[in-house]
Every structure is written in structure tokens, then in C-alpha cells.
């Protein structure tokens, strides 16, 4: 199977899981999620569970996950992440502090933030999507 076909197929599988309201997905913007999706589902789930711990059990998990994704994709910039989320900078700071307290991980350290970001992508990809999680 050629690379272009694989990219298109990945965009159709992954894009709706990450952005359910969109109808068009740029492959270039899906490279990292594509890499996460390429991991064997069992290993991806194991990684996600080990990094996120009990965060996923919280009622506000969707907002916390969205915050972690915006924080990482916004280049760890408070201004860009707050703009992406459509929240005040103080709201973002509150959420980041909350994530640090609950997870025990320093979200403002790029290595920890990237680990959390990858786990959040894995969580989105493994969530029920059109009746089934994204397979490997």
C-alpha cells in the first residue's frame, strides 16, 4: 500500500476521533496522533493508563485532557493554550495546577507535558469512536 493511501486512511480513522465536528483533516496535522495510533492497542492502552493514572476517572477529565492537548499543541505557551481553549489565562493556570496536583507530574516541564500529551492522544484514540476504538 502506498504512503499517500496510508496517510489518507489514517486521516479518515484518526481525524474524527480527535476532532469529531470536522469533515476535512490535514495529514500534516495528524502525524503525531498517527504515530500514537500505530502502536499496538494493548501497549498504547497500557502506556495511557500508566501515565494518566486516575485522572481519567474524574468527572472533569474531558476538560483536563483538552487542557493538556492545548498546552502541548500551543507550544507550552500560556497565551496560545488559553486562546486555543477559549479560556482566561487564570483558568488555564488553575487547570494546569490541578493536573499537577492530581497526577504528581510537573506539567510545565516539557518531558512530562509531552508524556501526558501522548497519553491524552492515546486516550482519545482508544475511546469509543463510531462504535469502536481506533485499531492498530
95-130 residue pLDDT tens:
999 999 999 999 999 999 999 999 999 999 888 654
Residue 69: domain span: 3-126
Mean pLDDT along residues 59-76: 96
Note whether residue 98 is domain-resident: yes
Report yes or no on 134 lying in a domain: no
Domain with residue 17: its CATH number is: 1.10.10
Picking from 76, 74, 52, the residue whose alpha carbon sits closest to that of residue 65 is 52
Q: Look at residues 9, 50, 53, 54 and name the one whose alpha carbon lies nearest to residue 30.
A: 9
* pTM for the full predicted model: 0.82
Residue 12 lies in a domain: yes
* Domain-embedded: residue 135: no
Q: Does some domain include residue 133?
A: no
Half-sphere exposure for 68 (CA within 13 Å, toward CB): 32
Q: Say how many domains are in the chain.
A: 1
Cell numbers placing 85 = 481553549
- Residue 103: inside a domain: yes
Interval 61-72 mean pLDDT = 96
Q: Are residues 116 and 68 in contact, defined by beta-carbon separation less than 8 angstroms? A: yes
Amino acid at each position: 500500500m502506498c504512503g499517500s493511501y496510508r496517510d489518507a486512511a489514517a486521516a479518515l480513522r484518526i481525524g474524527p476521533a480527535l476532532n469529531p465536528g470536522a469533515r476535512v483533516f490535514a495529514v500534516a496535522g495528524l502525524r503525531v496522533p498517527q504515530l500514537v495510533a500505530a502502536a499496538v492497542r494493548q501497549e498504547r492502552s497500557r502506556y495511557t493508563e500508566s501515565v494518566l493514572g486516575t485522572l481519567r476517572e474524574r468527572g472533569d477529565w474531558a476538560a483536563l485532557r483538552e487542557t493538556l492537548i492545548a498546552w502541548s499543541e500551543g507550544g507550552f505557551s500560556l497565551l496560545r493554550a488559553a486562546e486555543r481553549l477559549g479560556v482566561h489565562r487564570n483558568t488555564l493556570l488553575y487547570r494546569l495546577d490541578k493536573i499537577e496536583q492530581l497526577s504528581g507530574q510537573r506539567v510545565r516541564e516539557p518531558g512530562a507535558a509531552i508524556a501526558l500529551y501522548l497519553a491524552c492522544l492515546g486516550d482519545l484514540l482508544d475511546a469509543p469512536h463510531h462504535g469502536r476504538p481506533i485499531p492498530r
